[in-house]
Copies of this chain bind each other. A is one copy, B any other.
Amino acid sequence: MATEPSTGYDRDAVRAVLDRARAESRGALTAPEAKVLAGAYGIPIPGEALATSADEAVALAVELGLPVVAKIVSPDILHKTEAGGVEVGLSSPQEVKAAYERIVGNARAYNPEAAIEGVQIQQMVGGGTEVLVGATTDPTFGKVVVFGLGGVLVEVLKDVAFRLAPVTREEALAQIGDIKAAEVLEGVRGGAGVDRERLADVLVRLSDLVTDFPEIAEADLNPVFASASDAVAADLRFVLDFAPPKEPARFTREEILGAMERIFKPRAIAIIGASNEAGKIGNSVIRNIVDGGYAGHVYPINPKADEVYGRTAYKSIADAPDGIDVAVFAIPAKFVAGALEEAGRKGVAGAILIPSGFAETGEQELQDEVLAVARRHGVRLLGPNIYGYYYTPQSLSATFCTPYDVRGGTALTSQSGGIGMAILGYSRSTSTGVSAIVGVGNKADIDEDDLLTFFGQDDNTNAIAMHLEDLKDGRAFVQAAREVVPKKPVVVLKAGRTSAGARAAGSHTGALAGDDKVYDDILRQAGVVRAPGLNELLEFGRALPIMPAPTGENVVIITGAGGSGVLLSDAVVDNGMSLMEIPPDLDEAFRAFIPPFGAAGNPVDITGGEPPATYEKTIRLGLEDPRVHALILGYWHTIVTPPMVFAELVADVVTQARAAGIDKPIVASLSGDTEVEAASAHLFRHGVVAYPYTTEKPVQVLGAKYRWARAAGLL
């Protein structure tokens, strides 16, 4: 019988063991110490007890559960096996009794002088399924727990799942179900399944232990033998680190929002280094702010000019009027600390550090110095080494790039300037409506969790898409994401996924890229939708805000091209959705609209050559039936229903449905000659996510919306 789970933890017992290890400068625990920890946190290990008679051995064996192992206990016998002092696999009371007597007899014969304390009776484990339960300290996320199957194949296939510690019981159960080979836990080849509740309990207890005692850097319960009735850790290993990295600086939500409100909605902006000289960054910045239509005060700071771009210039920010919320820095790195000192005294909330020449070129000390100045004055820093930021609700283009003014619901952020430029160009090319585009660069201070906290409550933003190479504080990011995700989608492109990519990330920002599987599991746990590449980041950012959330999993394809229907079906499965099993009455209703040789079922194949009315009737039916939750349309260019006719009819049907209170996600794939490009754009403008020449992209976007809706608890 394994140690029974208990609700209370004996923290004092663990503290005593760890204090002793610390006093002895040990980095690991002995096996008996490990058992103390397991016992204190109710982690089941093989039961054992000392028997001093054959009858007592039998009673203990029955209590612990057969089969058992029996071992001589004598301070005078070191080599127990040599002394005939060990017997395994004792599976009946008779065998235990006989073994007790043989062992004691053998021991006496081996060393007649030996003091014999008795025979250790130990539960024999090894049945069921071998699994691994562990914990480690991730440089980005801190304490994480890991679950996987034991054994050779999983060592090779690396089939494990991570979660941020501490895990709840529900999270632990999800983690167990998250491994690819989870089916093995159901029992295979007729075997019984494991008790997942018991396994989840072990995960929760281990995660509580490493959370309560941060100096436990790593823990391995490997193997844990899991069966239909039990989960017993047969081997335990604990690694200690008494000098863990210090927690990153954290601000309260109120502090973050207080600063961010002023940064994104400034009353006045000072441009330090504003210049009249074309080609200078300080010139581009003031032009963009002014030409972009920003309505607040703009104060150029330039010791050598009286006026810059038509505005009165000041020698120093100290000379400028009060009420400045943001100072944009367009001066060389070496002058930043001094100018920031003055901006701090002036009471700015945010310093936008465009200059490069800090940590990214090895000048970490200079960056630290600037940060110290900022902290002293309570100024938050954006950057350094950035293109700046945009916030369209304020017509604010505080950047050396070009203004952008297409307002919409997407806030985009990028760690890299190159990716920022791609965001800008793509947004412009596709008329993506954005609320903000923000460069975070070296992230000396403001990072993704600050921005997530702001955009999460910003009424002008209804989806957030972030490119990042690392997270300074993974735990703060997860906390922020958990608060935002129930309200709006958070999309992340994590660069440096692969080891080659991670190496490049290392050489770029000095950031330590964590193992991608850790990122992947924990971002998913936080409800974040991960974009596999840059194009998807941009596309999800563009499309998610214009789609309503689905309210159920029933996806229906309506297509004029059977060939598209097949590819769309492939994409549905690829993107984690499934085709609705159409109920007979609905199938009959679809059939009434399509030619006899068309295929109802799902996809609904209305066949090529049908007039607009067939598209219209079937789409309307799909929208109006409350059992259908999302529609995927496959259009095929014909003379009978040209592309723009299709686009207009779909836009009309959708608009009418919305007026009637029906708003479902609807995406479209358009196959045809080049007119399908304009037709797709028309559909996009009317809230139908549509693409020409691809069956994958519309379904991928719908899949992203579903991933978010599930994480947000909407389904």
Residues on A lying within 8 angstroms of B by beta carbon are: 149, 151-157, 159, 180-181, 183-184, 188-189, 279, 284, 356, 360-362, 401-402, 414-419, 421-422, 424-426, 428-429, 467, 469, 493, 495-501, 503-505, 507-509, 532-535, 538, 557, 559-574, 578-579, 595-597, 599, 601, 603, 605, 608-609, 634, 636-637, 639, 671-677, 692-697
Which residue of the partner chain B has the closest CB to A402? B673
- Are A694 and B533 interface neighbours, CB within 8 A? yes
20 additional contacts, CB 8 Å, given A356-B609, A508-B562? A151-B153, A157-B157, A417-B561, A418-B636, A418-B671, A419-B563, A421-B673, A422-B672, A425-B675, A429-B692, A493-B567, A495-B570, A500-B573, A501-B570, A501-B573, A504-B569, A508-B566, A508-B605, A533-B571, A535-B697
Question: In the complex, which residues of chain B have a beta carbon less than 8 angstroms from the beta carbon of A418?
Answer: 559-564, 608, 634, 636, 671
Task: Say which residue of B499, B501, B692 sits within 8 Å of A425 (CB atoms).
Answer: B692
- Are A605 and B673 interface neighbours, CB within 8 A? no
**Cα–Cα, bound, A636→B421 (Å):** 7
Task: Say which residue of B149, B156, B495 sits within 8 Å of A181 (CB atoms).
Answer: B156
**Cα–Cα, bound, A268→B424 (Å):** 54
Question: In the complex, which residues of chain B have a beta carbon less than 8 angstroms from the beta carbon of A501?
Answer: 566-567, 569-570, 573
Question: In the complex, which residues of chain B have a beta carbon less than 8 angstroms from the beta carbon of A402?
Answer: 673
Question: In the complex, which residues of chain B have a beta carbon less than 8 angstroms from the beta carbon of A562?
Answer: 360, 416, 418, 504, 507-509
Nearest CB on B from A4, distance (A): 30
Specify how many copies of this chain sit in the oligomer: 2
Interface pairs (6), CB distance under 8 Å: A402-B673, A418-B562, A426-B692, A467-B563, A498-B573, A500-B579
Given contacts A501-B567, A608-B418, contact A535 B672 (CB under 8 A): no
- Are B500 and A570 interface neighbours, CB within 8 A? yes
Nearest CB on B from A432, distance (A): 11
- Are B578 and A152 interface neighbours, CB within 8 A? no
**Cα–Cα, bound, A421→B422 (Å):** 30
Which residue of the partner chain B has the closest CB to A598? B361
Q: Which of A362, A597, A673 is the most central at the interface, judged by chain B CB atoms within 10 Å of its CB?
A: A673
- Are A676 and B425 interface neighbours, CB within 8 A? yes
- Are B695 and A533 interface neighbours, CB within 8 A? yes
**Cα–Cα, bound, A346→B152 (Å):** 69
Question: In the complex, which residues of chain B have a beta carbon less than 8 angstroms from the beta carbon of A572?
Answer: 498, 500
Q: Please give me the 8 A-B residue pairs with the lowest Cβ-Cβ distance, nearest first.
A: A416-B563, A418-B561, A361-B597, A501-B570, A508-B562, A498-B573, A533-B696, A422-B671
Question: In the complex, which residues of chain B have a beta carbon less than 8 angstroms from the beta carbon of A361?
Answer: 595-597
Nearest CB on B from A686, distance (A): 21
Task: Say which residue of B152, B154, B401, B696 sits within 8 Å of A673 (CB atoms).
Answer: B401
**Cα–Cα, bound, A75→B499 (Å):** 65
Q: Which of A362, A504, A634, A694 is the most central at the interface, judged by chain B CB atoms within 10 Å of its CB?
A: A504
- Are B188 and A155 interface neighbours, CB within 8 A? yes
Question: In the complex, which residues of chain B have a beta carbon less than 8 angstroms from the beta carbon of A422?
Answer: 671-672, 692-693
- Are B504 and A695 interface neighbours, CB within 8 A? no
**Cα–Cα, bound, A361→B594 (Å):** 13
- Are A563 and B414 interface neighbours, CB within 8 A? yes
Question: In the complex, which residues of chain B have a beta carbon less than 8 angstroms from the beta carbon of A360?
Answer: 562, 597
- Are A188 and B500 interface neighbours, CB within 8 A? no
- Are A508 and B696 interface neighbours, CB within 8 A? no
Which residue of the partner chain B has the closest CB to A694? B535
Task: Say which residue of B159, B574, B693 sits within 8 Å of A429 (CB atoms).
Answer: B693
Nearest CB on B from A514, distance (A): 14
Given contacts A416-B563, A416-B564, A535-B697, contact A500 B421 (CB under 8 A): no
- Are A419 and B500 interface neighbours, CB within 8 A? no
Which residue of the partner chain B has the closest CB to A635? B418
**Cα–Cα, bound, A677→B422 (Å):** 11
Given contacts A153-B149, A417-B636, contact A566 B425 (CB under 8 A): no
**Cα–Cα, bound, A559→B422 (Å):** 14
Given contacts A414-B563, A563-B416, contact A499 B573 (CB under 8 A): yes
Which residue of the partner chain B has the closest CB to A494? B570
**Cα–Cα, bound, A697→B539 (Å):** 14
- Are A426 and B693 interface neighbours, CB within 8 A? yes
Given contacts A189-B152, A562-B508, contact A417 B184 (CB under 8 A): no
Question: In the complex, which residues of chain B have a beta carbon less than 8 angstroms from the beta carbon of A189?
Answer: 152, 155
**Cα–Cα, bound, A505→B601 (Å):** 12
**Cα–Cα, bound, A641→B361 (Å):** 21
- Are B671 and A561 interface neighbours, CB within 8 A? no
Q: Which of A189, A417, A557, A573 is the most central at the interface, judged by chain B CB atoms within 10 Å of its CB?
A: A417
**Cα–Cα, bound, A482→B415 (Å):** 46
- Are B419 and A671 interface neighbours, CB within 8 A? yes
